[in-house]
Amino acid sequence: MAAEATEPGGWAVIGGGIAGVTCAEQLALQFPDEDIYLLTAAPLIKAVTNLKQVSRTLEEFDVEEQASSTLERQYPNIRVINSAVKELQADQQRVVTENGNQYLYRKLCLCAGAKPKLIENGNPYVLGIRDTDSAQTFQRHLAKARRVVVVGNGGIALELVYEIQGCQVVWAVKDKSIGNTFFDAGAAEFLIPQLRSDKPDTLLACKRTKYTVEPPAGQGESWMGSALGPDWHEGMNLKAAEGVSRCVHIEGECEVLRILSLGEFKKLNILAQTVPRGNDAESSATSHTEEWPVYVELTNGRTYGCDFIISATGVVPNVEPFLTGNNFDVAEDGGLKVDDHMRTSVPNVYAAGDICTAGWTPSPLWQQMRLWTQARQMGWYAAKCMAADHLGEKIEMDFCFELFAHVTKFFNYKVILLGKYNAQGLGLDHELLLRCTKGKEYVKVVMQNGRMVGAVLIGETDLEETFENLMLNQMDLSAYGENLLDPDVDIEDYFD
């Protein structure tokens, strides 16, 4: 067994996703004369390009899948090791990789991301989407599909139901309204008409380079790639075989009770639903003999046959290889708890991105969400903390953790979420102000004690900077009452 060890005192980062690459890049800049080891399971790494600071806390960037040699060329002191880590011996400050090598570290940052939480593991008809590989599997299945069932109500489910064309989509959501992770019922109502019209043709050139990659030898099923990003479906043909118009049927307030094979379904002698064409509200039970490879029984008593099921029901942090023999504090959501220096409970081990759970007392206007932006911010800040701790310097919590800020696109609308945009954790102690122009914009602000604490901005509202400032300054706005959102009032002038 070849054993390679970094010099005792080396820097090591595990994971070639956004968090890990950003962390390694920042360490490489801070310690140009030292080697930075980036150990990653996937043959490609993810790099942030075209970073644009939209406002003080809002940022936009592209994500590029790159060969690790590109990163090594750009940062000559980064050494990318292409092998999954199978063991962490924290008492020895050592990691062991699948290919049998060992690496000693002075400080280590775990950035191994998360994997989809599937509604049923091991069922070939249940797909999760995480990386390029799983997205391609999905695309292959879709090409032959007549009907798919999408389960989940987060960002991935939202994007999928909008992007899939040419087959029936049954969307099972456990909440009262769609997109509950991001919106309230009002915003959902604003967006739903987009599902009822044919999607504009957006098969544009892809923003980032896509590679078709095979898992490294011997890592077939267990291969862990990086999570896809905001534009994962761009350039992918998400058209099914049927070529029919968009047809999305929403089943609200229900979960999947069980998944049945065709044989099991027949034995039970129950009826399956049809999906109404034209997005009518109601489906109907039928004894129609159309057969499906798999059936989904929902808790509302309805059963749908389909070609496959997309499980978009959240993620589970990839912590397993690191837990054995180490005393990590693991949070309820399965992430490694980190303090305000991104330190885990194990000495000299930090964590950033989807694998970690913020264990510090957050600013009143920030919450953790497993998103690109936070993976980048945490990776960058973890590197700064590792360096500061090593050099015995003080470091302040980065400003990006003051206010939750996320810019994205749903159903072809620009969407900006700020602060406690969904009144998270505020109980009844808040009020909402709304302004909505059908098909154009939806503006919601969350107010508490006359102060703005959150906002959802859909469409080209141009309000993000002003609202961000109002939230950061916590200015008392009670005097303005509902006029705050009056379209005839130039709110920016008000507060300049």
Binding range to ligand FAD, per CB under 6 A, among 51-59, 105-113, 337-345, 475-483? 105-113
Binding range to ligand FAD, per CB under 6 A, among 40-48, 389-397, 445-453, 463-471? 40-48
Binding range to ligand FAD, per CB under 6 A, among 13-21, 164-172, 207-215, 265-273? 13-21
Binding range to ligand FAD, per CB under 6 A, among 16-24, 188-196, 251-259, 418-426? 16-24
Please, which of residues 429-488 interact with ligand FAD by CB under 6 A? none
Task: Please identify, using beta-carbon distances, which residue of 86 and 430 lies nearer to ligand FAD.
Answer: 86
Please, which of residues 327-356 interact with ligand FAD by CB under 6 A? 353-354
Least Å distance, CB 275 to ligand FAD, is: 24
Please, which of residues 209-268 interact with ligand FAD by CB under 6 A? 224-230, 232
Q: What share of the chain is helix, strand, coil (3-state, %, to 5)?
A: 25, 30, 45
> Rounded distance, CA 192 to CA 179, Å?
10
By CB under 6 A, tell whether 18 contacts ligand FAD: yes
> Rounded distance, CA 105 to CA 93, Å?
6
> Rounded distance, CA 463 to CA 485, Å?
10
| Binding residue for ligand FAD, selected from 373, 377, 422, 461, defined by CB under 6 A | 373
Measure CA 158 to chain center: 12
| Binding residue for ligand FAD, selected from 113, 154, 419, 454, defined by CB under 6 A | 113
Task: Please identify, using beta-carbon distances, which residue of 10 and 305 lies nearer to ligand FAD.
Answer: 10
Least Å distance, CB 238 to ligand FAD, is: 12
Q: Which residues pair with 247 in a beta bridge?
A: 168
| Binding residue for ligand FAD, selected from 12, 27, 71, 111, defined by CB under 6 A | 111
114-151 burial: b if 16+ Cβ within 10 Å, else e: bbbebbeeeeebbbbbbbbbbbeebeebbeebbbbbbb
Could you please report the per-residue DSSP string of 284-341? EEE------SEEEEETTS-EEEESEEEE-S-EEE--HHHHTTS---B-TTSPEEE-TT
Task: Please identify, using beta-carbon distances, which residue of 206 and 268 lies nearer to ligand FAD.
Answer: 206
Please, which of residues 131-160 interact with ligand FAD by CB under 6 A? 155-156
Least Å distance, CB 268 to ligand FAD, is: 33
> Rounded distance, CA 418 to CA 468, Å?
7
| Binding residue for ligand FAD, selected from 318, 344, 357, 466, defined by CB under 6 A | 318
| Binding residue for ligand FAD, selected from 6, 10, 26, 40, defined by CB under 6 A | 40
Q: Is 140 helix (H, G, I), strand (E, B) or coil?
A: helix
Number of H helices, E strands in the chain: 10, 29
**φ and ψ of 15, to 5 deg:** 120, 125
Which residues lie closer than 8 Å to 105 by C-beta, 6 or more apart? 6, 10, 11, 12, 37, 93, 94, 95, 348
Binding range to ligand FAD, per CB under 6 A, among 34-42, 200-208, 360-368, 423-431? 34-42
Which amino acid appears at position 107 of this protein?
Answer: K
Task: Please identify, using beta-carbon distances, which residue of 149 and 477 lies nearer to ligand FAD.
Answer: 149
Binding range to ligand FAD, per CB under 6 A, among 35-43, 186-194, 235-243, 250-258? 35-43
Task: Please identify, using beta-carbon distances, which residue of 272 and 312 lies nearer to ligand FAD.
Answer: 312
How many CA atoms, within 13 angstroms, populate the side-chain half-sphere of residue 396?
Answer: 4
Task: Please identify, using beta-carbon distances, which residue of 65 and 297 lies nearer to ligand FAD.
Answer: 65
Per the CB < 8 A criterion, the answer to whether 453 and 365 are in contact is yes
Which residues here bind ligand FAD, judged by CB under 6 A? 14-20, 39-42, 46, 84-85, 111-113, 129-130, 155-156, 224-230, 232, 318, 321, 353-354, 370-373, 375, 408
